[in-house]
Amino acid sequence: MHRLFHNRPLEARGFIRFADRGDRRLLDPHRLLEEWVTHYHTALRTRLNPRRFEGDTDALQRADLNNYDAYWGGEVAADKLTRMLKPALFTIYAREPIARLVAAHRLRARPRGPIEVLDVFWKLPPEPDHPDVAPPPLAYADLLATRDGRGIEAAKIIYDRLIEPAVPSRMLVNSFGLPPGRATRDIDFGVAVESWEQFQALTLTLGSLLLTKLKNALFSRRRRRLVTLYCDEV
């Protein structure tokens, strides 16, 4: 991402603010992400040495790309992250050289082949749960560029689940070294459930706890009011 933007233009466009001691403060991470997605395809992707191949895509999907210092992007990344998209285009981001990957899976160069290989350009730690997948913002950008309804729907899911909650910490701290700060002091929790039935049971339980707490708060407030009135009358 740092190859698309530099700190001073970011400041001029209102994305960051420099403090007196040189500290940088991020102001609008979500708008910055959307601008990055737009510029990625016009300013960077074409310079990533894109190459097309054909081959056994089923076998390729079963391969461990970590062995080749490579990562899935686009539709395969969406399949691994959401399990809601059957890939038709197989995008791989790899570090040079790719000869071992090509030879191991007998890939054959073809201008319009379904396998696309591009150069890795980021320096971020792998995703803990999906170490063979490119950073979610990049998968999101790849999917939006397809202009395909399936890809756009998968992009929205990736954004809602993985990007929007973590834009400051993942994209901006790692790419720019910008401290995102903290807008509120509340603490958010996430709970994973395996079925709709579990979700309903959890909702009912939390709703019951919230109702009980609200009743206690109202009773406590009413009791304090009664005590105050009694003391005033005495």
> Does the pTM of the predicted model rise above 0.85?
no
CA 132/CA 1 separation, integer angstroms: 19
CA-based nearest residue to 58, from 35, 86, 77, 78? 86
What one-letter code names the amino acid at 154?
Answer: A
Cis-peptide, bond into residue 97, ω within 30° of zero: yes
Nearby residues of 75 by Cβ (< 8 Å), 6 or more positions away: 85, 87, 88, 89, 90, 91, 142, 143, 146, 151, 154
Reported as a single tens digit per residue, the pLDDT across 160-198 is 988 887 765 554 444 444 454 554 555 666 777 778 787
pLDDT, position 15: 76
Do 86 and 79 meet the contact criterion of CB atoms below 8 Å apart?
yes
List phi, psi (to 5°) of 231.
-65, -40
Among 104-108, 179-183, 199-203, the range scoring the smallest mean pLDDT is 179-183
pLDDT, position 154: 93
Reported as a single tens digit per residue, the pLDDT across 134-152 is 999 999 999 998 888 888 9
Residue range 40-68: mean pLDDT, rounded: 93
pLDDT(27) > 90 = no
